[in-house]
A and B are shown apart, each in its own frame.
Chain A
Amino acid sequence: MTSDIHPALAALPADLQAPVESGARAELQRLLADIESRALPVGRVHRAWILGALQARLAAGYLAAWLRAGFADGDERVRLYNEAHLAAALRLLGTMGYLRGAVSKVGQLLANWPTLAPRAFADTLAALQFEAPPMHFALLREAVRAELGSDPEELFAEFDVRPFAAASLGQVHRARLKTGEEVAVKVQYPGIAGTIRADFANLKALMLPLRMTRDWDNMREQVDDIMQMLELETDYLQEARWQELVRRTLEPLPELVVPRVHAGLSTRRVLVTDLLRGQHLEDWLAGSPSQAARDARGRQMMAAAFRLYYDAQLIYSDPHPGNLVFLPDGRLGLIDFGSCRQLTPEELAYVRLMERACAGDEAAWERGMRLGTRLPEDAEFTREHRQLLCDFADWLWEPLRHAGPFDLGSADYFPRGVALWTSAVRRRLTRNMPLNTWINRNFIGLRAIAYRMGSRVDMQALHREALATSTIRGGLP
C-alpha cells in the first residue's frame, strides 16, 4: 500500500521534499502509521487505486510548483516555513482517498488560472476533467444495480460501456432511454462519501498542531465548510434539485440550455440527464472563434450567473470549463450542479451589507469586513489588510462600474485579480467566512473562463437587466 503513495510523493519537486519541520513530520508519520495499520478501510481502497493514475501524480507535482511560485518573492524564512507545511499538506493529500476528486478540482482551478500555471501544465490539467481513469464497466454495472435494482443494459435501450467524461466523484456515460432520448448517466464511485468523511477526520488530526495559531478557529470553520460542500456533492439527488432550479430559473433565456433530469432513473449515486452534444472550451477555442462569438459566449455565461443569483439566490461555485458545453447552434449549455449553494436569509443579509459597503457606505464597509473576515471584536485591521480588501473589492466591481463592453480578456484585468489573491495568501490574510469561499470561487472562476475566451461583456447592462427581473434588489453576483 505504501508503494502506491510514494509515486505521487516522488512527483513533488525534489527540493520541496526535504525541509519538513520536525513537528509536522512527526505528526505526519504518526498519521501515516495509523492509516497503514488499519485493516481494509475503504478509504485506502480508493487511495491506492487513485494514486496509481499518472494524472494524479502530475497534478500533485504541478500543485506544488504552482504554490511555490506564489511564495517565490517572499521572505526566505517565511518561504521555507510555508514550504514545510506545504510539503506536509501535500503528503497528506497523497494519502487521501478522495484524491481523484481533489486533484480534479486542483486541475480545474489551475487550468482556469492561466497566469499561474504554465500553458502546458494548464492543458494537461484541463484534460483531467475528461480523462481521469475510469471504473470498468463490470464495476459500474454493479454500482448501477445497487442503486436502481437492474443492470444498465436492462434499464436503457443503449448504454455505452466507455465513459465519455470523468466527474470528480464518478464518471459519465452516454446512453439512450427506451423512449429514444439520448442521456448522460453519471455514476458515483462506490463508497466515496464514507471515504471523504474518513479523510477529513485525518485532515483534522494533521491540523491539530496548528490549534494554537491565531487563525485556528477560522481554519477549522473553513475545513468544515469544505467537507460539507464535498458531502453535498456526493448526493446526486441534491444535485438534481439544484439542476431543476437552475433550469427553471434560466428558462426565460433561450440562449442557455440546462439538461433535464430524469428523476425516475436518478438516485443519490446515479444521475440521468439529457445529453448535450457540443464542444468543451479547449475544442471550441481551437476552432479560432470570432471576437463576436467570444463576446456572445461570455455574455451568455455572465447572464446565467446574474440570473441565478438574482432570481434564485443561487451561487454556482464550480464554474470551470468542463461545466460549459458550446452547442453548434450558438447556445451555451450548463452542466454539473453538484456544487451550488443557496443563500440563507442570514447570508443574504451579509451580501446586502457588502453591496452597501461597495456602494460607498463606510459603516457598512467596516461591519461587513469584520463579519466577512471573522475578525474578533477586539481586534483591528492592519493597514495592509484593509488596503488588500479594498483593492480586491475594487477589482470585483470594476467591470460593473464600466459603461459598455468590458474587456475581461485584457492582459491587465484578470492577472491583477490573481496578483491580489496571491498576495493575500502570501501574507496569510486568508481569514474568511465560508460563504466568501463560495462567492470567490464563483466570481474568480467565471472571470477566469471569460479571460481564456477573451470576451468583452457589458457587465453593467447585464447587471441592470438581471435587476429588472429580479426577485431581490441590489447586489452583485
Chain B
Amino acid sequence: MRITAEAKQKTRERLLAVAHKLLARRSLADVTTREVADQAGLAHATLFNYFPTKDDLALALCRQLLDEAEADFAARRRGDEGLDEDLFAHAAAGLRRLSPYRPWAGTLLAAFRPVPGAPEVPGDDDPAALASRHLAAVSGIIARHRGAAAASPMALHLYWSLWLGVLTWWAADASESQQDTLAVLDHSLRMFGASLDGAASASGAAP
C-alpha cells in the first residue's frame, strides 16, 4: 500500500506532538525514540523514516516552535518599533516558545553552526534550513529598517554568531526567570544595530 503525502505529514505531526508533550516534562536524554514511537502508535523503526536521529526529531520540534514564534512576533508588532526593539522582540518570541525545552534546546541549537546563506530546502529538517529560515526573518527586519543592502551576508553572519552566544548563555542561565539572558540579548542586539550603522556610515550609505 502506498502512503500518501498527506498521511505522511499527519504521522510526522503526530510524532512531533508526542515529542512536544514528553520533552516539555523531561530531558532530551531521558526521552527515548521508542517511547515517542509507542505513544504515537507506530513501530519503533517507522519513526526513523521521519527522523533519522533523536536530535533530528528535537530539531524539527524547535523549528516548529520557531515558526510559531514568527507568528507571535508578527502579531505583537505595533509598527513603530525601532530596529533594536524589533530584533529583540523577534528573538524574545523564539526564546519564549522554546522556554519549556530550555534545558536542552539552547545547547542543541547552539551546537549547530550551519553556514548562513545556505539555500533553504522547503520542508527540510536540516539544521541549515532552520538557520536560514531564522536569518530570512532577521534579514526582513533589517531591510525594513535599514534597507535591503544592510542585510549583507556578513551582517547576517554576525547576527547568527550573537544569536548562538545568546542561546548558549540562556541554556546555562541560573538567574531568576533567566533575567540575565534578557540583558545579554538586549546588549547583543544593540551592539549588532550599532555595527550595522557603523558599516553604513563607513561605506557612505545613509544609516
A138 at the interface (CB under 8 A from B): yes
User: In whole angstroms, how far apart are the Cα atoms of A46 and B182 in the complex?
Assistant: 11
B81 and A190 contact, CB distance less than 8 A: no
Expressed in whole angstroms, the Cα–Cα distance for A370 and B171 within the complex equals 54
Q: How far is the CB of A474 from chain B (nearest CB, A)?
A: 44
Q: Is A210 positioned at the interface, with any CB of B under 8 Å from its CB?
A: no
In the complex, per-residue mask of B108-126: 1 if CB is within 8 Å of any chain A CB, else 0 = 0000000000000000000
Q: Is B85 within 8 A of A190, CB to CB?
A: no
Could you tell me if A146 and B177 are in contact, using CB atoms closer than 8 angstroms?
A: yes
Given contacts A136-B82, A138-B85, A146-B177, contact A191 B92 (CB under 8 A): no
Q: Which residues on A are within 8 Å of B, measured CB to CB?
A: 40, 42, 44-46, 48-49, 52, 135-139, 141-143, 145-147, 161, 189-191, 194, 269
Nearest B residue (CB) for A1: B191
> With A40-B169, A42-B180, A146-B179 known to touch, is A139 a contact of B186 (CB < 8 Å)?
yes
Say yes or no: is B183 at the interface (Cβ < 8 Å to chain A).
yes
Residue interface mask B73-102, A partner, CB < 8 A = 1: 000001001101110110010001000000
Give me 19 other A-B pairs in contact (C-beta within 8 A), A44-B187, A138-B85, A146-B177 excluded: A40-B169, A40-B184, A45-B187, A48-B191, A135-B186, A136-B84, A136-B85, A138-B81, A138-B86, A138-B92, A139-B182, A142-B182, A143-B179, A146-B178, A190-B182, A191-B175, A191-B179, A194-B175, A194-B180
Can you offer 16 A-B residue contacts whose CB atoms are under 8 A?
A45-B186, A45-B187, A136-B81, A136-B84, A136-B88, A138-B81, A138-B92, A139-B88, A139-B186, A142-B92, A142-B182, A146-B176, A146-B177, A146-B178, A190-B179, A191-B182
Judge whether B89 and A147 touch: CB under 8 Å.
Answer: no
- Residues of A near B78 (CB, < 8 A) are 137, 161
List the 4 closest A-B pairs by CB distance, nearest first: A146-B177, A138-B89, A190-B179, A136-B85
* Contact partners of B180 in chain A: CB under 8 A: 42, 190-191, 194
Q: Are B183 and A42 in contact (CB under 8 A)?
A: yes
Nearest CB on B from A428, distance (A): 38
Check if B146 is an interface residue, CB within 8 A of chain A.
no
CB within 8 Å of A: which B148-199 residues? 165, 169, 175-180, 182-184, 186-187, 190-191
User: How many angstroms from the CA of A395 to the CA of B128 in the assembled complex?
Assistant: 73
For chain B, the count of residues having a C-beta within 8 Å of the partner chain is 25
Contacts of A143 in B (CB 8 A): 179, 182
**Chain A contacts of B182 at CB under 8 A?**
139, 142-143, 146, 190-191
User: A48 is contacted by which of B82, B86, B169, B187 (Cβ under 8 Å)?
Assistant: B187
How distant is A146 from chain B, measured CB to nearest CB, in Å? 4
Bound CA–CA A147/B176 (angstroms): 9
For the complex, give the distance between the alpha carbons of A40 and B184 in Å.
8
Complex CA distance for A44 and B85, rounded to whole angstroms: 20
Chain B CB within 10 A, most for which of A48, A137, A190, A269: A190
> Which residue of B is nearest A153, CB measured?
B76
Expressed in whole angstroms, the Cα–Cα distance for A122 and B187 within the complex equals 30
Minimum CB–CB distance from B153 to chain A (whole Å) comes to: 25
Q: Once bound together, how far apart are the Cα atoms of A190 and B186, in whole Å? A: 10
For the complex, what is the distance from the CA of A84 to the CA of B178, rounded to whole Å? Answer: 40
Q: In whole angstroms, what is the CA distance A390 to B190 when docked?
A: 53
Closest-CB distance, B188 to chain A (whole angstroms): 8
Q: Which of A42, A46, A141, A269 has the most C-beta atoms of chain B within 10 angstroms of its own C-beta? A: A42
Residue among B96, B179, B190 making CB contact with A49, cutoff 8 Å: B190
A138:B88 contact, CB within 8 angstroms: yes
Q: How far is the CA of A138 from the CA of B84 in the complex (A)?
A: 9
- In the complex formed, the residue of A with least CB distance to B191 is A48
Question: Nearest chain B CB to A238's CB is how many angstroms away?
Answer: 16
C-alpha gap A146/B99 in the complex (Å): 12
In the complex, what residue of chain A is closest to B92 when comparing beta carbons? A142
- Contact of A49 with B186 at beta-carbon distance under 8 Å, contacts A136-B84, A136-B88, A138-B81 already known: yes
Bound-complex Cα distance A475 to B58 (A): 69
CB <8 Å contact, A49 and B187: yes
Complex-state Cα separation, A251 to B186, whole angstroms = 42
B173 smallest CB distance to A (angstroms): 10
Residues of A within 8 A of B92 (CB): 138-139, 141-142
**Residue from the set B78, B85, B183 with the largest chain A CB neighbour count within 10 Å:** B183
- Partner pick for B177 among A48, A147, A161, A194, CB 8 A cutoff: A147
**Chain A residues within an 8 Å CB radius of B187:** 44-46, 48-49
- Residue of A whose beta carbon sits closest to that of B90: A138
Shortest beta-carbon distance from B10 to chain A in Å: 33
Given contacts A136-B81, A146-B178, A161-B78, contact A46 B183 (CB under 8 A): yes
| A138 contact set on B, CB distance < 8 A | 81, 85-86, 88-89, 92
Closest-CB distance, B52 to chain A (whole angstroms): 34
CB distance from A26 to the nearest CB of B (A): 29
Nearest CB of chain A from residue B174's CB, rounded to whole Å: 10
Residue of A nearest to B89 (CB): A138
User: Which residue in chain B gives the minimum CB-CB distance to A48?
Assistant: B187
Give Cα distance in the complex from A44 to B179, angstroms: 15
Determine how close the nearest CB of chain B comes to the CB of A388; give it in whole angstroms: 44
Give A191 to B179 CA distance when docked, in angstroms. Answer: 6
* Smallest Cβ-Cβ distance to B73: which chain A residue: A138
Question: Which residues from 55 to 73 on chain B have a C-beta closer than 8 Å to any C-beta of chain A?
Answer: none
- Tell me the smallest distance from the CB of B187 to a CB of chain A, in Å: 4
Indicate the member of A136, A147, A189 with the most B CB atoms within 10 Å.
A136
Whether A45 touches B81, Cβ cut-off 8 Å, given contacts A146-B178, A147-B177, is no
- In the complex, what's the smallest C-beta–C-beta distance from A17 to chain B, in angstroms? 25
